[in-house]
């Protein structure tokens, strides 16, 4: 009996749960979910219709809208469930939406579901379908919104797309296409076919049937609309589609869209003589979708076949193809007596043939045992998530081998939950051909109404574009720039939304159609700050998906994220990085790409990669349209004032930027050294500083004032614009409106922009050179700029030999005429620089220190070059202001367990974060001593060893923290200090790897035996050499194999005991420059070869 029936509830004495038992293992569950069920009219206290395979017509949904009160009630319940799913229940957004929906229903009797609501509701309708055994896949359903359809042709076009998507060359994908909702009793959109693909049944004069007897009636209907079949056993029926209650139209499905499988047997060659075949895609098209009170009479959807649906029912049933006896006879079974069980043998062989054939041809098909197992898992999932699961035992148990499947022995409770898929009366039973009204008989208001309705539908049809979402994550703004470029291109064909990853509502990922990811990689393979949470959620979902899958790969939906199942999104990832980081090049983008693929996303393009050492790799993928001066302007705002620098930078970089004041800038190197490394001490001008040892300080520099003045003097419009007047940069939008360009702050002076917001010292990218071509008047210069803008070997030589900035380019190409608005709209942003923090906030409250190598270099052509930020910091005096924010580096924090050893490895400025380590350790020891927990001299000291391996050139010039380290070593804070000198006079070169190798046994003891942590800070090459050195020590000291040593280091990294803070190119030394140049040129050659072979 239907437990949703009121009489049934009385008989159960108002139990809060209904007990269900598994008769094999005697496990019992309590179904409480049925209390949310709807009252149905199929069953009563005196009769149960649960064993009926087809429900009577009087129980089916008829035409016409529901009463407004009922629609409001169902809408309220659905919206509550939807907003709970996206974790926004009872928020302002939820309540505002409910109020709007209620108002809409009161006005016209129904409301428009958003696309996300429609998708979620459609998936729930499958989840709630009590007769379906394959529901564990409900969250994978791809929903196509075809509510914009106006004509039967529109419906046919959408269905053809559905067939292509669902069939997918045999790798079937579940999908539903939803056509416009019911608006009254006479204007329904209907698919007359029971399934989109079925075979005709031709009734002969003697009552026999050629083809599928189940489709005799519909075959005659098709013939009445002019269709003529071939009279064969497997003729695909046409579609009959009805739009807006109008005359039905007939459409023949193209042969190439109907994937059919020829049926053969793995053991019996004679089986081919039956000439059997079956279509791959089962797409039910006769049901009505009911979501939140809104009904959709046309909603064809497909999953994939279970073998018994074809082998037992379609081929075996007496009222279908009735093949049991012919197969039994070919098997030479005794068909005269039922005791020979010939039917059972024949039906099994039919199923074996179907299973074999679908697998042979690579077409998705599931067996009934595996499917029954997955349904049992689904019951378990639903019990955890919802307190029960509606299930119709009569339909769930497979038609053969029933008692051998797990579902046979499981008690089930059948009830109706909405959203739902409902049976409805066959359309040909209610359709009445309409008489043609002449236009002259229509009243003016009828014509006006028809025009208005048509215009509305046409507007929807024209405005309907595939939605695409672009997500970016960035530390310096490059990814955002490329995302903007991509949006400009996609806007031509798609409805595009672009946003930063940290602003993205992750719950919406299940509803995306197209997703584009553009992201950089920070440091040694880490996510940018604004991409961390996205990666965390994506990883959590992938992990839950993996952990909550059964042996068949079906998901066990037991958490908020895993309950949404695999993703159906089409996606592509474009990753930015630097090849100087070796194996971690574009690592974050690669991880996102892998996670999306792991979760079932469909790659539309393989991952793209852009290299900062080779700009064209990125630039050539996204080529911006030509720059037009008449579409950009400077608007001068009289009486306005520019924003304070912290507000301007905060808006520009989407970060909370504050300022620090310089306490002191001290050169740490000897006056004998030609190099300079400075200790910059700063204090907060605003909120108290909060950071941990290992974190990074992001510093926003200023360009060299001399360089700024030279550039301003070169501008073509220097006489016509006021360089110190507040203005804003605007561009002409597609809607022909002047819109503020958000690349730079809304109010600025031109001088300020070139000083603090735009990079005027960097080498122009190939894209910028491409835009410069039309700004020069000399043909020879145009040709050279065109060659350089291709980003080939010539560009790389020019870049590394000359290291030219925009001023150098203007000198090299004297016919260039560059205006302020051109440079403001084309120069890249001035990036923030990251420095490892060299102080402990516990030791120096409200103070923060950084260790900075001052970059100065000479190019091959003899030009003197200077690092923008390091030289700016070196020029500052006490009280000067430094814009900043702190970037947490959780992967480089000191271990929570203070008793484990710490090995620090950092040559040169790689020592920077370790100064914060030894300062923190000194404070921790001091506090422990004061609390009488331990003293420094206790034999049971609670602190593990703190060991430093440092490397520099010469002891008298470059040992930057020598005195400070000696003091901390004497205090017992630093337990061991090893320094390698690579240029010490009269001594062989020595590097940190050499010292590590010499102390290999101690290293092994601390790491392998005492669970210590290794921290490495420096450039990629050094870090790679250190890792190989440690692997070799493990091989030599512990007799590990090479593979075991590599795996141990990898395991240390994965478990958070091997930490790396790796930086790229900072010093323009000849060695580093040549390394970068070699890497870039190798990539040029690689791309040239790829072009030739592609």
Say how far apart CA 824 and CA 634 lie, in whole Å.
9
Task: Report residue 1040 as tokens.
Answer: 């590990």
Pairing of strands 201-203, 209-211: antiparallel
Q: Are 1030 and 1003 in contact (CB under 8 A)?
A: yes
Q: Which residues of 68-101 are buried (b: 16+ CB within 10 A; e: fewer)?
A: beebbebbbebbebbbebbeeeeeeebeebbeeb
362: number of Cβ within 10 Å: 10
Per annotation, catalytic residue among 43, 97, 127, 132: 132
- According to DSSP, the β-strands at 696-699 and 881-887 are antiparallel
- Please tell me the distance from the alpha carbon of residue 1039 to that of residue 1000, in angstroms, as a whole number: 13
Residue 309 known to be catalytic: yes
Question: Residues near 1073 by Cβ (< 8 Å), separated by ≥ 6?
Answer: 800, 857
DSSP one-letter string for 451-464? HHHHHHHHHHHHH-
Give the Cα separation of 413 and 432 in Å (integer): 40
How far is residue 846's CA from residue 610's CA, in Å, rounded to a whole number? 39
What number of CA atoms fall less than 13 Å from residue 185's CA on the CB side?
A: 6
Tell how strand 1058-1063 and strand 28-31 pair up.
unpaired
Q: Is the dihedral of CA 781, 784, 788, 789 positive or negative?
A: positive
Structure tokens of 736?
């022909």
Contact 950, 911 (CB under 8 A): yes
Rounded distance between C-alpha atoms, residue 975 and residue 978, angstroms: 10
What tokens were used for 193? 């076919």
Cα-based angle 173, 601, 524 (whole degrees, multiple of 5): 165
Give one DSSP letter per residue of 931-985, joined into a string.
TTS--TT-TT-SS--EEEEEEES-HHHH-TTHHHHHHHHHTTSS-EEEEEESS-T
Q: Tally Cβ neighbours within 10 Å of residue 375.
A: 24
Calpha distance 882→873 (Å, rounded): 9
**Which of 97, 127, 135, 173 does the annotation list as catalytic?**
135
**299 is a catalytic site residue:** no
289 Cβ contact list (under 8 Å, min separation 6): 121, 122, 125, 176, 178, 295, 296, 299, 419, 420, 421, 422
Q: How many CB atoms lie within 10 A of CB 872?
A: 21
Among residues 117, 309, 796, 984, the one annotated as catalytic is 309
What residues have CB less than 8 Å from 1009, skipping those under 6 apart?
none
Query: What helix, strand, coil percent values describe the chain, rounded to 5?
Result: 40, 20, 40
Per-residue b or e along 327-355, where b marks 16 or more CB atoms closer than 10 Å to that residue's CB? bbebeebebeeeeeebbeebbbbbbbbbb
92-108 and 68-85 helices, crossing angle to 10°: 160
Nearest Cα neighbor of 33 from 149, 119, 128, 144 is: 128
Instruction: For residue 357, give the nearest of 415, 274, 423 by alpha carbon.
Output: 274
Q: Which of 304, 798, 872, 918 is an active site residue?
A: 304
Q: What is the 3-state secondary structure (H, E, C) of 421-436?
A: EECECCHHHHCCCCCC
Non-local CB neighbours of 84 within 8 Å, separated by 6+ positions: none
CA 144 centroid distance within chain: 20
Query: Hey, which residues are catalytic here?
Result: 132, 135, 304, 309
């Amino acid at each position: 009996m239907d437990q949703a029936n009121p009489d049934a509830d009385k008989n159960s004495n108002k139990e809060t749960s209904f007990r269900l038992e598994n008769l094999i293992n005697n496990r019992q569950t309590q179904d409480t979910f049925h209390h949310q069920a709807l009252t149905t009219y199929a069953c009563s206290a005196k009769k149960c219709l649960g064993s009926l395979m087809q429900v009577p017509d009087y129980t089916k949904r008829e035409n016409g809208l529901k009463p407004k009160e009922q629609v409001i009630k169902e809408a309220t319940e659905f919206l509550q469930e939807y907003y709970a799913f996206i974790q926004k229940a009872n928020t302002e957004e939820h309540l505002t939406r409910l109020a709007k929906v209620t108002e809409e229903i009161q006005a016209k009797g129904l409301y428009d579901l958003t696309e996300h609501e429609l998708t979620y509701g459609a998936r729930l309708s499958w989840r709630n379908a009590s007769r379906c055994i394959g529901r564990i896949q409900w969250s994978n359903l791809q929903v196509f919104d075809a509510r914009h359809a106006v004509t039967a042709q529109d419906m046919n076009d959408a269905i053809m797309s559905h067939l292509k998507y669902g069939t997918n060359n045999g790798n079937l994908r579940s999908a539903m296409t939803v056509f416009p909702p019911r608006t009254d009793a006479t204007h329904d959109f209907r698919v007359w076919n029971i399934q989109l693909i079925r075979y005709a049944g031709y009734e002969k004069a003697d009552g026999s049937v050629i083809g599928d007897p189940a489709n005799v009636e519909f075959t005659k209907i098709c013939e009445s609309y002019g269709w003529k079949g071939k009279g064969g056993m497997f003729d695909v029926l046409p579609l009959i589609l009805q739009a807006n209650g109008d005359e039905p139209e007939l459409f023949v499905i193209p042969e190439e869209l109907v994937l059919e499988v020829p049926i053969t047997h793995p053991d019996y060659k004679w089986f081919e003589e039956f000439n059997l075949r079956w279509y791959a895609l089962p797409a039910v098209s006769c049901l009505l979708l009911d979501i939140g009170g809104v009904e959709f009479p046309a909603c064809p959807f497909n999953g994939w076949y279970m073998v018994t649906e074809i082998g037992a029912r379609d081929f075996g049933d007496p009222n279908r193809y009735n093949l049991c006896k012919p197969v039994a006879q070919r098997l030479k079974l005794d068909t005269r007596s039922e005791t020979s069980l010939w039917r059972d043998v024949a039906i099994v062989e039919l199923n074996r043939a179907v299973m074999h054939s679908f697998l042979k041809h690579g077409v998705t098909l599931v067996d009934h045992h595996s499917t029954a197992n997955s349904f049992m898992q689904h019951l378990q999932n639903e019990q955890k998530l919802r307190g029960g699961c509606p299930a119709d035992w009569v339909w769930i148990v497979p038609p053969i081998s029933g008692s051998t499947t797990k579902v046979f022995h499981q008690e089930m409770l059948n009830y109706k939950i909405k959203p739902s898929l409902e049976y409805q009366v066959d359309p040909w039973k209610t359709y009445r051909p309409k008489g043609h009204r002449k236009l002259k008989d229509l009243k003016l208001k009828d014509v006006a109404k028809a025009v208005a309705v048509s215009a509305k539908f046409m507007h929807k049809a024209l405005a309907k574009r595939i939605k695409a979402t672009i997500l970016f994550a960035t530390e310096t703004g490059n990814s955002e720039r490329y995302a903007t470029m991509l949006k400009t291109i996609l806007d031509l064909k798609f409805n595009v939304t672009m946003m930063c990853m940290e602003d993205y509502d992750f719950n919406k990922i299940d509803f995306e159609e197209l997703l584009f990811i553009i992201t950089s990689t920070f440091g040694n393979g880490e996510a940018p700050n604004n991409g961390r949470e996205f990666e965390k959620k994506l990883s959590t979902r992938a992990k839950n998906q993996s952990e909550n899958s059964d042996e068949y790969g079906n998901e066990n939906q037991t958490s908020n994220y895993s309950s949404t199942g695999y993703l159906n999104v089409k996606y592509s990832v474009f990753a930015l990085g630097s090849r100087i980081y070796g194996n971690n090049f574009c690592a974050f983008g690669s991880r996102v790409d892998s996670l999306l693929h792991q979760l079932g996303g469909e790659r539309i393009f393989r991952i793209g990669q852009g290299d900062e050492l080779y700009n064209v790799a990125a630039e050539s993928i996204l080529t911006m349209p030509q720059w037009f001066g008449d579409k950009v302007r400077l608007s001068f705002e009289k009486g306005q004032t520019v924003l304070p620098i912290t507000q301007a930078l905060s808006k520009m970089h989407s970060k909370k930027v504050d300022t620090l004041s310089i306490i002191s800038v001290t050169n740490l190197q000897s006056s004998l050294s030609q190099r300079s490394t400075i200790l910059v001490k700063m204090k907060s001008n605003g909120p108290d500083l909060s950071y941990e040892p290992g974190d990074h300080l992001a510093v926003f520099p200023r360009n060299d004032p001399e360089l700024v003045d030279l550039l301003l003097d070169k501008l073509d419009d220097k006489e016509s614009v006021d360089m110190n007047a507040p203005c804003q940069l605007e561009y002409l939008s597609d809607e022909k409106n002047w819109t503020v360009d958000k690349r730079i702050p809304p109010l600025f002076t031109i001088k300020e922009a070139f000083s603090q917001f735009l990079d005027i010292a960097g080498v122009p990218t190939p894209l910028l050179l491409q835009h410069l071509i039309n700004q020069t008047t000399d043909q020879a210069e145009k040709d050279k700029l065109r060659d350089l803008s291709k980003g080939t070997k010539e560009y790389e030589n020019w870049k590394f030999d000359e290291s030219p900035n925009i001023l150098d380019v203007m000198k090299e190409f004297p016919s260039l005429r560059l205006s302020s608005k051109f440079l403001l709209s084309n120069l890249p942003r001035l990036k923030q620089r990251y420095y490892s923090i060299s102080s402990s906030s516990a030791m120096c409250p409200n103070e923060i220190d950084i260790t900075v190598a001052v970059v100065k270099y000479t190019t091959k052509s003899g030009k003197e070059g200077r690092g923008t930020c390091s030289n700016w910091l070196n020029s500052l005096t006490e009280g000067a202001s430094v814009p900043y924010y702190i970037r947490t580096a959780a992967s480089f924090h000191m271990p929570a367990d203070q008793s484990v050893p710490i090995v620090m490895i950092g040559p040169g400025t790689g020592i920077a974060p370790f100064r914060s380590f030894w300062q923190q350790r000194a404070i921790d020891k001091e506090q422990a001593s004061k609390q009488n927990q331990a003293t420094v001299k206790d034999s049971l000291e609670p602190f593990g060893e703190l060991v430093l391996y440092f490397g520099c050139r010469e002891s008298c010039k470059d040992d930057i923290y020598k005195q400070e380290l000696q003091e901390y070593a004497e205090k017992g804070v630093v337990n061991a200090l090893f320094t390698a000198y690579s240029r010490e006079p009269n001594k062989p070169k020595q590097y940190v790897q050499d010292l590590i190798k010499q102390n290999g046994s101690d290293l092994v003891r601390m790491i392998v035996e005492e669970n210590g942590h290794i921290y490495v800070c420096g450039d990629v090459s050094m870090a790679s050499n250190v890792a190989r050195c440690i692997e070799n020590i493990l091989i030599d000291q512990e007799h590990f194999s090479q593979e075991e040593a590599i795996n141990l280091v990898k395991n240390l990294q994965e478990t958070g005991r091997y930490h790396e803070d790796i930086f790229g190119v900072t010093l323009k030394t000849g060695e580093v420059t040549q390394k970068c140049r070699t890497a870039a040129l190798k990539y040029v050659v690689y791309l040239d070869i790829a072009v030739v072979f592609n």
